[in-house]
Amino acid sequence: MRVAVYHRNSDIRLEDRPVPEIGEGEVLVKVKASGICGTDVMEWYRIKKAPRILGHEISGDIVRSNDPRYKPGQRVFVSHHVPCFRCKFCNNGDHTACETLHTGNYDPGGYSEFIRVPKINVAHGTYILPDNVSYEEGTMIEPLACVLRGQRVIQVKQGQTVLVLGCGVSGLMNVQVAKLAGARVIATDRDDYRLKKAKEYGADQVYHPKDLPPVKADKVIYCTAALPALKQAFQSLDRKGTLLLFAIPETDIQLPTVDFWRNEMTVTSSYGAAPDDLVNAIELIASGKVNMKDLITHKLPLEKAQEGFRLVAEAKNSLKVILLP
């Protein structure tokens, strides 16, 4: 089978590998669509484990099954991360802190023609795609679930003001989900194309960062790696406000200590998604309450994985880039 091997953002190599063999309780999935995540192009983060086959947002068809619950021909979304449901974090409802979730994956990665789904991922991370959800939309389940979890962590509510910094695909999903919660949403980006999209997806106001007027937001969601945006984030937080680091910068951040203390600000992060978030994401996409389809701007064959990485890394007139193995 063909695979795209990551060495660095500018070095994605197409190779031939054997199709994985499956064991007891496992399934083999033919990958029909695989999304390129923004974290995949964070070179400082990914290169530490290179070379490797990335890709964790996939949908496809089961072609072989050693689990009686699944049969060949079924259309599925497969989660690469699943919790153990036994540790102290899982027992406390903090599934994304589970070590099993952090260390698990499918074999060899989503940028390949086939993947072997381990037994635990079959049991807790394989979902039948609704008939009205395309393979391409299926790749959006995991990223949308991450947004749902992030906003659940910071408790976005009706009537609050939410400031979204950065209107790439994660920012635009955060705009949609915050609007679903009934919040007033303000969005910023340096790119006119993305600001226009934020408005289309429901943002009440959009601004270039330099033009953002004084804002006192209940929640600020950081969806950009730009360090200047962090200063703006803290300046825009109301008392008792919460900053969610949905994206992370390459370097450590500094807190405005006095304001942080006097105004009782909260800074938190969000990693991954729990099983309930994945189920909710599937339901939202299937019901049409969120628009994932139009976030997909580029569909490329696996042979053009290098171009896909370039498009995502440049972050210009592209939103979601999907590979079609």
pLDDT along the chain (325 residues), means of 10: 96 97 98 94 85 96 98 98 97 96 95 98 97 98 98 97 97 98 97 96 97 96 91 94 92 84 92 96 98 96 96 88 96
What ranges make up the beta strands (E) of 50-141? Answer: 57-65, 75-79, 114-117, 126-128
Q: Does residue 139 sit in helix, strand or coil? A: coil
Pull the structure tokens for residue 1: 């089978």
- For the full predicted model, state whether its pTM sits above 0.85: yes
Q: What is the pLDDT of residue 250?
A: 79
**Cα-based torsion angle of the residue sequence 112, 85, 154, 230 in order, rounded to the nearest 10 degrees:** -50
Q: Do domains 2-140+292-324 and 146-269 have the same CATH topology?
A: no
Q: What is the pLDDT of residue 258?
A: 85
How many Cα neighbours within 13 Å face the side chain of 113?
Answer: 11
Tally DSSP H helices, then E strands, for the chain.
12, 15
How many Cα neighbours within 13 Å face the side chain of 75?
Answer: 13
Q: Which CATH architecture has domain 2-140+292-324?
A: Alpha-Beta Complex (3.90)
288: left (phi over 0), alpha (psi -120 to 50) or beta: left
Fold of 146-269: Rossmann fold (3.40.50)
Q: What is the pLDDT of residue 254?
A: 83
List the chain domain ranges.
2-140+292-324, 146-269
